[in-house]
Structure 1
Amino acid sequence: MRSVDEHRQVVAGLFATAASTAVPLADALGLVLAQDVIAPLSLPGFDNSAMDGYAVIADEIADASADQPVSLPVVEDIPAGRTDALTLKAGTAHRIMTGAPLPAGATAVVPVEATNAATDTVEIRVGAKPGQHIRRAGEDVTAGTTVLAAGQVVTPAALGLTAALGLGELSVIPRQRVLVMSTGSELVAAGTPLKPGQIYESNGVMLTAAVREAGADVVFTPMTDDNVEVFREALDRYCADVDLIITTGGVSAGAYEVVKDALTDSVDFVKVAMQPGMPQGCGTVNGTPIITLPGNPVSALVSFEVFIRTPLRAAMGLPNPERPRRTAVLTEDLTSPRGKRQFRRGVLDADAGTVTSYGPPASHHLRWLASANCLLEIGEDVDQLTAGSQVHLWDLA
């Protein structure tokens, strides 16, 4: 058998980081910057008011108070967006709104709350220091500086900054485009009445969610029966438009193993020393990487976590591609098959630092995986663990 670590290396070798591409800001959230973002202009681009109030010369109102207000004629009204250049003359005030350009000559802004809010002659009831309530040009960003670095994940705040700089697109590492295929003549779509021997398809839904949660896009999700010709036709139809193919089912040692029968010449089908998820396969189809997972649902999702999620995220440049690894104190005795690395569902109590296995280890018990928050990783050379011992785990929370 191939070891888990060996198979992880083989699978990881199938992935390559895609060339960077420019995308509109609306499509960039969650992607990784491929290039630094250099500010083409300063922010703010001009001196402007930080308050709704009055632009004044600070020295002229230095002694203003509620008992002895300073009265000034209001000769201009400056809303945000006014574009003509204005100059404040001595002995006057301009009413000004937040974000509006400061007139030349003004040295402070008095908040409207400290005045009588008049539009003809304003009474100013507090003094002001030079520079008060003024946003100076370039105090946030200076043109020519690096404001976002390559390798950063694009966040809402990063998009806001980019838009404020007048940039309409960003150079990013694109999302991997993934084809998820479920196989099996017993599978039917939800909403279809079940006949004897049929089950509802769930792996495609589950793996599609896992791919998207990892940051990639699922672009096609066909389902085929155990017919090699039908499977191969569907594969050929979609594979040219994706970066990765994931199949589930049809890889074991029995009859009617459609994936194995169809791809013997292009996929290396192996047994991996793990439980669950022993039958695995990987290779390329028409130059596109393909990873074939077992059909039992727990095996499929555990295999995705162990072999696919990390290199998939790494191919998109995403930080921390691996699940967090921890150790915790086991609350019970456990047995494990020697010679295989076992991944058991578990419930981690992070506050107490303890973990309890959750549900039977068999690969069809999906209910327990749905409520687990970690995977216990038990090494190949271990056949039993006692309560109170340290155990390694993958944090899925």
Structure 2
Amino acid sequence: MRSVNEAENIIFNLAKPLNNQTDIETVDLLTATGRILASPVTSKLDFPHWDNSAMDGYAVIYQDVREASEKKPAVLKLVEDIPAGYQPQSNIQSGQAARIFTGAVMPQGADTVVMQENTRREDNQVFILKAPEAQEFVRHRAAYYQAGAELLPPNIQLNAPEIAVLAAAQCTKLNVFRRVKVAILSTGNELVTPDDNLQPGQIVDSNQYALAALVKQSGGEPLILGIIKDEPEALKQAISKAIANADIVLSSGGVSVGDYDYVKKIIESLGGEIKVNSVAMKPGKPLTVARFPMPNSSIYFGLPGNPVSALVSYWRFVQPVIKKCSSIAEGWQPKFIKAQTNDDLSSNGKRETYIWGKLDLIDGVYQFSAAGGSKSSGNLINLAQTNALAVLEVGKSSVKAGEEVKVLQV
């Protein structure tokens, strides 16, 4: 049995990023959200595109107003109004000014904007009542970004801020990495689908639905293979299909030591090398991880069949692997923080224990509340709204309410 840290090192080293030559596709900007950028992006535009005003006020020549005050205002002749989206027609001369609005193009000759609160207007004249700083409230062309330079680097996830930048830069076609393909299958003679008529002794397969949702949330593409009976030949065909079509395979059930647990033998018969047999964690001990050889090089996760065990194993090991394989440069690793627990937490101290619950930030302090009810790995009902797992490491049997605990954000 591997320790959690040993298993993590082995598993994360199996994960290899997608190829930046062969695993690329081009997408439209509107469908790029959540994708991983595969190549640097540049723009033909400067930002700002031109010198413009950062304030509603008056475009002036600084030398004309450098000594202005309420007692001795500078008096300038207004020659033009310049709203946003309008191309100025005047060249500002000494003694002149233009009314200008936020975002509008600065007129030729002007180098400073005086905010309107520091002025008084009378007919076609403006009185400057306070001297500005030189070039105040002027946003200069290319001050934020110069055309042709790298706008966004590769290997980042495209979220709302990046989408906004790309839209403003008129970059509407993007090279992104394809999504990591994750095959999902459930094993067990007792399993039925949610729309089946449930008979005594049968169990609804919730794992397939939960894992598919998690894969999507992790940025992967789930390939649903359904329920496979505990029959060696059927399992072998399903696993063979999975490793031929997916980067990562997730099966749930069939990896313990029961008479009908065939998965490990089938993995080996198909050329897979088992890297992890079990992990000293609770829940999630019967975790099997294998690597298949080229040309597919799939990573195989044989997850426990119990719903909570399957999800805890996913959050701890599979989610980081999907993100790393997707070629994101940073942020794929598990995210641990320290939090104050609102409940007494306990374990037997023999295995690293994960207690599911909810993490909130209250008055600047992270607080963890354990899910109510039974902590059985077969009880998925109290798993709803889980966003964190409290971690009790080996040798630590309890954490009292109010004390600090290590928490994995999920």
Shorter-chain TM-score bucket reads 0.7 to 0.9
Measure, in 2, the Cα distance between the counterparts of 1:334 and 1:134. 61
Kept in 2, the 8 Å contact 1:245–1:289? The answer is yes
Instruction: Say yes or no: does 1:336 pair with 2:337.
Output: no
Give the deviation of 1:203 after TM superposition. Answer: 0.9
Q: Which moved more, 1:87-96 or 1:279-288?
A: 87-96
Aligned amino acid, residue 336 of structure 2: P
Within the candidate set 194, 209, 223, 1:205 is matched to: 209
1:250 to 254, 257, 267: 254
Aligned ranges 1:250-329 → 2 under 5 Å? 250-257=254-261, 259-260=263-264, 262-266=266-270, 267=272, 268=274, 270-284=277-291, 286-315=296-325, 316-319=328-331, 321-324=333-336, 326=338
Instruction: Find the counterpart in structure 2 of residue 176 from structure 1.
Output: 180
Contact 1:378 1:392 in 2 (8 A): no
Structure 2 unmatched ranges of 5 or more: none
How do 1:129-140 residues align onto structure 2 when only pairs under 5 Å count? 129=132, 131-140=135-144
Q: Tell me, what secondary structure is at the counterpart of 2:128?
A: coil
Aligned in 2, Cα 1:223/1:40: closer, same or farther, shift over 3 Å? same
Instruction: Name the residue aligned to 1:47.
Output: 51
Q: Could you report, residue by residue, the CA deviation over 1:75-108 in whole angstroms, capped at 9, with x for unpaired residues? A: x554444458752355655454433322212244
Shift of 1:383: 9.1
Q: Cα–Cα, structure 1 residues 26 and 177, in superposed 2: closer, same or farther, change >3 Å?
A: farther
Q: Which amino acid aligns with 1:15?
A: A
Q: How far off is 1:296 after superposition?
A: 0.8
2:331 alignment partner, SS class: coil
Q: Deviations over 1:275-297 (max 9, x none)?
A: 33333323346532221111111
Task: State the Cα distance separating 1:17 from its structure 2 match.
Answer: 0.8
Could you tell me how far apart the structure 2 residues matched to 1:273 and 1:331 are? 24
1:252 deviation in Å? 2.9
Give the 3 Å change call, closer, same or farther, for CA 46–383 of structure 1 in structure 2: closer
> Closer, same or farther in 2 for the Cα pair 1:70/1:241, shift >3 Å?
farther
Asked whether 1:221 is paired with 2:201, we answer no
Report Cα offsets for 1:346-394 as digits up to 9, x if no partner: 6789959898796545321223444664233342xx4955869989644
Answer yes or no: is 1:377 the counterpart of 2:392: yes
| 1:396 corresponding residue in structure 2 | 409
What are the superposed Cα offsets for residues 116-159 of structure 1, whole Å, 9 maximum, x if unpaired? 59xxx633243464534332223333456655556655443333
Cα RMSD after superposing both structures: 4.5
Q: Residue 72 and residue 66 in structure 1: after superposition, are their counterparts in 2 closer, same or farther (change >3 A)?
A: farther
Q: What residue identity is the alignment partner of 1:217?
A: G
Match of 1:124 in 2: 126
Question: How far apart, in 2, do the equivalents of 1:46 and 1:26 lie?
Answer: 27
Q: Describe how 1:84-103 pairs up with structure 2 within 5 A.
A: 86-89=90-93, 93-103=97-107
User: Which of the residues 171, 175, 184 maps onto 1:167?
Assistant: 171
**For the Cα contact (< 8 Å) 1:344–1:358, is it kept in 2?**
no
Residue-by-residue CA offset, 1:217-259 (whole Å, 9 max, x unaligned): 2332231230555555555556555321111123233344464
Q: Compared with structure 1, are the counterparts of its residues 99 and 188 closer, same or farther at alpha carbon in structure 2 (3 Å cutoff)?
A: same
Can you list the C-alpha shifts for 1:45-74, whole angstroms capped at 9, x where unaligned? Answer: 322233445544455677697998957354
Return the letter of the residue paired with 1:306.
Answer: R
Q: Structure 1 residues 153 and 54 mapped into 2: Cα distance closer, same or farther (>3 Å)?
A: same
Unaligned runs of 5+ in 1: none
One-letter code of the match for 1:396?
Q
Q: Is the partner of 1:324 in helix, strand or coil?
A: strand
> 252-261 or 133-142, which moves further after superposition?
252-261
User: 1:324/1:66 Cα in 2 relative to 1: closer, same or farther (>3 Å)?
Assistant: same
Q: How does 1:100-115 map to 2 (within 5 A)?
A: 100-109=104-113, 114=119
Question: Amino acid of the residue matched to residue 297 of structure 1?
Answer: P
- TM-score, length of structure 2 as denominator length: 0.73
- Relative to structure 1, the CA distance from residue 51 to residue 353 in structure 2 (aligned partners, 3 Å threshold; closer, same or farther) is closer
Identity value in percent: 29
> What TM-score do the two structures reach when normalised by structure 1?
0.75
Change (3 A) 1:275 1:135: closer
Q: Give, as a single letter, the amino acid of the residue that structure 1 aligns with 2:348.
A: S
Query: Relative to structure 1, is the Cα distance of residues 68 and 341 closer, same or farther in structure 2, using a 3 angstrom cutoff?
Result: closer
- 1:157 aligns with 161
2:78–2:126 contact (8 Å) kept in structure 1: no
CA deviation profile, 1:188-214 (whole Å, cap 9, x unmatched): 33344423333322112222333344x
Distance 1:253 1:71 in 2: 90
Letter in 2 for 1:12: F
CA distance in 1, matches of 2:403, 2:305: 32
Describe the superposition over 1:163-197 as per-residue Cα deviations: whole angstroms up to 9, x where unpaired: 43443455666553322222334333334442333
Q: Residue 11 of structure 1 contacts residue 291 of structure 1 at CA under 8 Å; is this kept in 2?
A: no
Matched residue of 1:190: which SS?
A: coil
Q: 1:135, 1:165 → 2: CA distance?
A: 17
Residues in 2 aligned to 1:336 and 1:67: alpha-carbon distance in whole angstroms: 82
**Using the alignment, how far apart are the partners of 1:84 and 1:9 within structure 2?**
62
The answer to whether the aligner puts 1:367 opposite 2:381 as a matched pair is yes
